[in-house]
Amino acid sequence: MKTATIGLTLAIASVIASSSVYANDGKTRRAYDVCVNANTDAVLTHFPPLIGDQLTVAGMILPAGTVPSNGTGDATCISYAASKIGTFFVNGTFVGDFSGQFLPQAAADDLAYVNWHFRLDGLGAFDTTGPVKRFDLGGTYPQTITGGTREFRGVKGELTVQQLGAGGFQFRAFLPEKD
């Protein structure tokens, strides 16, 4: 009896602690953290970037909740390596710069236009596209989901990005709700 109680307690605790699933009004919302070491995982044409510069990235996907949401996360991502569950790819172009200049038709908070690819080990992948906003700790912005494979084949709509730290190189990505 005691073993069954311990087992049930551990099972409940593991469901509560599961960081890649968030409950929202009875619906499941999948979420993942992304960490990019700006020094080793990203290539920019110039630093600081200029309007029109290219950005290429291959960073880590982690269970949601791995990166602290208060901006104190490990900017090198080294402390998260053991938790890696996938690879995050970016190809993009800057439409604004860090001095506040931007292309005339871009919004004042648009930084770049990107294509993102989230490859989750053993589960499949999904892609998004859209503008990346200037860094605002805790701020959110949408990305349009363009498609997915395997577990993510039917995913569509909008990915919500919550900025966690490292100047935008750490964020939490929320997929649309799933019944």
What mean pLDDT is predicted for residues 111-140? 97
- Show the tokens assigned to 156: 């569509």
Q: What pLDDT was estimated at residue 74? A: 97
Whether 22 has a pLDDT exceeding 70, the answer reads no
Residue 24 burial (CB < 10 Å; 0-12/13-18/19+)? Answer: exposed
Average pLDDT estimate for 40-62: 96
Which one has a higher pLDDT value, 50 or 9?
Answer: 50
pTM, entire model:
0.84
Task: Tell me the mean pLDDT in the region 56-84.
Answer: 97
pLDDT higher at 28 or 83: 83
Which whole-number Å values give the CA distances from 115 to 25, 51, 74, 110, in the listed order?
Answer: 31, 17, 25, 14
Instruction: Give CA–CA dist 67/171, Å, rounded.
Output: 8
How would DSSP label each residue in 69-114?
Answer: TTS-S-TT-GGGGGG--EEEEEEEEESB-TTS-B-TTS-TTEEEEE
The pLDDT value recorded for residue 28 is 58
pLDDT at position 160 is 98
Question: Which two tokens mark 28?
Answer: 């499941």
Q: Which domains does the chain have, with CATH numbers?
A: 20-178 (2.40.480.10)
Q: How far apart are CA 139 and CA 133, in angstroms?
A: 9
Reply yes or no on whether the pLDDT at 175 is more than 50.
Answer: yes
* Residue 177: predicted pLDDT: 83
CB-hemisphere CA count at 13 Å for 76?
A: 2
Mean pLDDT of the chain: 87
Quote the pLDDT of residue 111: 96
